[in-house]
Copies of this chain bind each other. A is one copy, B any other.
Amino acid sequence: MILKDLAERLGCACEGDGAVEVRRMAGIEHAGPGDLSFVANRKYLARLASTRASAVIVGKGVPTSLPRLISDNPYLTYAQATALLHPAEPPGPGVHETASVDASARLGEGVHVGAYAVIGARARVGARSVIHPHVVLYPEVEIGADCVIHSSVQIRERCVLGDRVVVQNGAVIGGDGFGFAKDEAGRYIKIPQVGRVVIEDDVEIGALTALDRAAMAETRVGRGTKIDNLVQVGHSVTIGSDTVIAGQVGIAGSAQIGSRVTLAGQVGVVGHLKIGDGAIVTAQSGVPGDLEPGEVVSGSPAFANREWLKSTAVFAKLPELQRRVRELEKKLAALESAKDAEPSAAPRR
């Protein structure tokens, strides 16, 4: 695409030679002729000098003579430019001859169903949604319009997905929640999980992620939330909108996660608590109780990130701190002996 045409489609200013042709996005270090690249983080600005990209996306006032698109948000413009230079090539509409679609299931217009997919009784798939090979929709699953369900995703009975939901390969939506009651003999008796999972519009779910159905009502993921791979979402959890959950996070049952929350990689969240909007939990932390909106916490158990940073700094020097205490004990004992040995007009301690 000609750079200035791309600029027009993106609503960006174009500076330098707008006639260059760009065919692909590439990273600033790897880019070559015909590539468009970007710098979103100031610490990479130095690489503009040596890049072989034909053009770049940069913020205002960045010094370069390369053909460039100017953006207030270069990272977002990079996302949008990528979608234009690398248009998705979804499989066309149609149902593969090997797909097993129940007679009572309803497929919207333009739906694609791949090889060996199984669409269960009374399931519904919205217009233009793409169901890749080997997906299994149990009975009464509802999927909205313009969804992309990658291969081997398993969606259990009565679960509901909104519009424009993207699910990566192998995810499981609606498995039984981990519910058991102990009987008098100490054995665990299964509690039937009769709820469901509801995924709102524009949610993305990562590969091999598990979202358990609720015990009775619903496990819900709010609009626009993005969940990474190998995440565990327990039964009856609710998650707000535009929240980000990174890889291998585990959220125990009935936790309420707010909107615009960030849970970093491998975080653990205890059940039956409430994490307020905009809270941030740093990687590998364990959240044992409620968090206020906007709180930033770290550690296991997690507490204020600022304090945790200081505590971990001292943790690394604990042997030295212990030595200092021992030294103080020795010196103080010496002072006490010297004192006891003194003749003195002061009363004895």
A residues engaging B (CB < 8 A)? 24-27, 30, 73, 75-76, 78-80, 82-83, 86, 88, 96, 98, 100, 114-116, 118, 132-134, 136, 138, 150-152, 154, 156, 166, 168-170, 172, 175-176, 178-184, 186-192, 194, 202, 204, 206-208, 210, 212, 215-217, 224, 226, 228-230, 232, 234, 242, 244, 246-248, 250, 252, 260, 265-266, 268, 270, 283-284, 286, 299-301, 303, 307, 310-319, 321-322, 324-325, 328-329, 331-332, 334-336, 338-339, 341-347, 349
Contacts and interface: CB of A to CB of B under 8 A. Distances in A.
Nearest to A168: B175
Contacts of A248: 232, 248, 250, 268
Given A150-B175, A152-B170, 9 more contacts: A25-B194, A116-B116, A134-B134, A172-B208, A180-B244, A210-B230, A248-B248, A250-B265, A324-B329
Contacts of A202: 187
Contact of A342 (B83, B300, B334, B346): B346
A321 B322 contact: yes
Contacts of A315: 299, 311, 315, 318
Contact of A27 (B134, B216, B268, B317): B216
A206 to B, nearest CB: 7
Interface class of chain A by DSSP: loop
Given A82-B194, A189-B79, A224-B188, A27 B217 contact: yes
A268 B266 contact: yes
Q: Which of A76, A114, A284 has the most CB of B within 10 A?
A: A284
25 contacts: A25-B194, A26-B217, A27-B215, A76-B181, A78-B181, A98-B98, A100-B133, A115-B118, A166-B176, A172-B207, A172-B208, A178-B246, A178-B247, A180-B244, A188-B226, A188-B242, A206-B210, A248-B248, A284-B286, A284-B300, A307-B316, A314-B319, A334-B349, A335-B339, A342-B344
